[in-house]
Structure 1
């Protein structure tokens, strides 16, 4: 009987299918037939991000976080929006400091570059949080190599926490939305494959939390990507804090 149990990939794929069907159900056939997907993977092409909004801790805060063995966070625009609330929640939960390097529209390659820079300049605490991947839907095949890079930088004695993703941009046509869902699931599966190789990689299952009750895709995401405030922000931050403080 045990051979008939669904494996992680089957469960994950089933959840993605539920999310994709929800996306399809909310779009009209006219949109689907008229849309012209952009880019090689249907979600479009990532634009320039180097001059976008960012939130980066001061050197003093980074040093203090490292010395007290707090948490380094590397994220994107979701992290910029939710990062201050997350740091406050973490501090109140177990007293941990957080230093952040969050940058809007940045793909994971840039986040891992920042991780490497901080590792070389400051050293790393025992917990690192990656809240990155939403901007990799434009080129999903490159994601796995960045996870490998991050794990090499972190090494085997620290824990890397990674928040998985759910991206379906409501402002886009039905065809692009379906590509977004497909590419989100593709990226998430690469995370799960990496977890098989790296026992110190911990995945924070934001996507699955949303899929369990499909209404959450609408109520907890304000635009299909960023969390609603306070509902989605509180839910996502709580998942992250629970993972970071679990003994």
Structure 2
């Protein structure tokens, strides 16, 4: 095992003490999940799941007014419209979205690259993806770096970190979900050190601050409750955008 991987696992075990409020007081170490990859199972087919993708007619005004492009997963499919309304009422910014349920980060970054080539990019990009990377956490860091390379140093990338502990799964899987969420968030925090134009929305830390928030703001350990969780997450995002 490389020294970098050893360091990452030590940090995960330390970080687990914060995130474990979602699922219990004990924490799985990596070896206990080895029989099932990383313990969260496998990512199922997502290509035919629900999606919300802005049309060219919707994209053009965003570029003309220097609004934001958003790339997200099922949480964003559910919450994206409410976010767009909140954002425009607070900052006047328009939002074009490429949100797709079940999608991990790599194809979300493919979509970013596609829009960059087809339309160009505004100066701010919102990434609300990573929850579906719990099944293979090590691939996430490279996709963050890839995003930053596409965006370039003159643009700001705002990235929402993740909290997953699926309540419909067994306790062991929930623990693995929590650990893998922490792994993803550590990679995002490390990327912020490499990329000064990367801003992190600390959704996971907001939820962990009070144990009651996990049931109040999450319907299934992943998706937001409506309106409480949706409003709380969208407010954190808008505050981060206002600060850029």
TM-score (norm 2): 0.90
Q: List structure 1 segments (4+ residues) > 2 angstroms apart after TM superposition.
A: 10-16, 36-39
Conservation of the 8 A alpha-carbon contact between 2:51 and 2:101: yes
Match for 2:158 among 161, 168, 180? 161
Unpaired segments ≥5 residues, structure 1:
1-9, 27-35
2:239 aligns to what?
242
1:30-41 to 2 correspondence within 5 Å? 39-41=36-38
2:19 aligns to what?
19
| Distance (Å, rounded) in 1 between the aligned partners of 2:23 and 2:190 | 25
Is 1:111 the counterpart of 2:111? The answer is no
C-alpha spacing 1:93/1:17, structure 2 compared with 1 (3 Å): same
Match for 1:69 among 49, 66, 80? 66
Conservation of the 8 A alpha-carbon contact between 1:140 and 1:183: yes
2:193 aligns to what?
196
Aligned residues: 231
Q: C-alpha deviations, 1:84-140, integer Å up to 9, x for none?
A: 000000000011000000000000001000000000000000110000000000000
Deviation at 1:19, TM superposition (A): 2.6
2:92 aligns to what?
95
C-alpha spacing 1:218/1:37, structure 2 compared with 1 (3 Å): farther
Is 1:142 the counterpart of 2:139? The answer is yes
| Distance (Å, rounded) in 1 between the aligned partners of 2:237 and 2:109 | 19
Conservation of the 8 A alpha-carbon contact between 2:22 and 2:178: no
Deviation at 1:50, TM superposition (A): 1.0
2:50 aligns to what?
53
Deviation at 1:16, TM superposition (A): 3.7
Conservation of the 8 A alpha-carbon contact between 2:40 and 2:134: yes
TM-score (norm 1): 0.89
- SS of 1:128's partner is strand
